């Protein structure tokens, strides 16, 4: 009997605790729903008011495909800009390191009077096929070829002048073309 009384009392306490626990859960759920609803309403009303004041963004929100394409293009342009900036900075750092590494040599050249030899062509040399030559035979051969070319040029100019003097002006109506003859295979 004692155990049964104890079990009954324990069951009563258990039912009271579970019902009060269910009430607390229900109240907290309703409180959570109330808080979520009020927060979502306030955020929604603020967002709606902001979108009304910014019609371009409102239009983009209502056209998601166009806005995704716009965002994609914007991201591509920004990435391209960042890559360009990165390359410019890397190039500047490379130049700075080259200057730092070359500065001791420049200082020694300045202190001891060393000069860089110029790469200009002296007046006694000729350039053929982008090569510098001082060979007299090669120079003579080049001069011979130039003389031949000049003679040919003069001959061509004389021929043109002679053709201009000899040929009268021909009208297209004066020219009669013969009919083409067909050659038969026998």
Instruction: Tell me the pLDDT tens digit for each residue of 139-160.
Output: 888 899 999 999 999 999 999 9
Query: Is the pLDDT assigned to residue 130 strictly greater than 60?
Result: no
Question: Is the model's pLDDT at 186 over the cut of 60?
Answer: no
Residue bearing the bigger pLDDT, 174 or 84: 84
Is residue 115 over pLDDT 90? Answer: no
What does pTM read for this prediction? 0.34
Q: Does the pLDDT at position 46 exceed 70?
A: yes
Identify the band that residue 170 occupies on the pLDDT scale cut at 50, 70 and 90. Answer: low
d(CA 113, CA 99) in angstroms, rounded, equals 19
Tokens for 16?
């009271």
Is the pLDDT higher at 94 or at 18? 94
């Amino acid at each position: 009997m004692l155990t049964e009384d104890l079990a009954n009392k324990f069951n009563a306490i258990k039912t009271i605790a579970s019902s009060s626990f269910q009430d607390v859960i229900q109240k907290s759920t309703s409180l959570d729903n109330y808080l979520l609803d009020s927060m979502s309403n306030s955020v929604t009303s603020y967002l709606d008011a902001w979108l009304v004041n910014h019609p371009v963004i409102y239009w983009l929100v209502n056209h998601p495909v166009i806005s995704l394409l716009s965002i994609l293009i914007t991201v591509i342009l920004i990435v391209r800009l960042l890559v360009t900036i990165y390359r410019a900075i890397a190039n500047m750092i490379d130049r700075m390191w080259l200057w730092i590494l070359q500065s001791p040599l420049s200082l020694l050249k300045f202190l001891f009077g060393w000069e860089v030899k110029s790469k200009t062509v002296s007046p006694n040399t000729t350039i053929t096929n982008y090569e510098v030559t001082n060979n007299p035979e090669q120079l003579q051969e080049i001069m011979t070829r130039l003389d031949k070319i000049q003679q040919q040029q003069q001959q061509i100019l004389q021929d043109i002048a002679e053709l201009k003097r000899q040929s009268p002006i021909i009208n297209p109506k004066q020219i009669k073309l013969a009919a083409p003859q067909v050659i038969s295979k026998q």
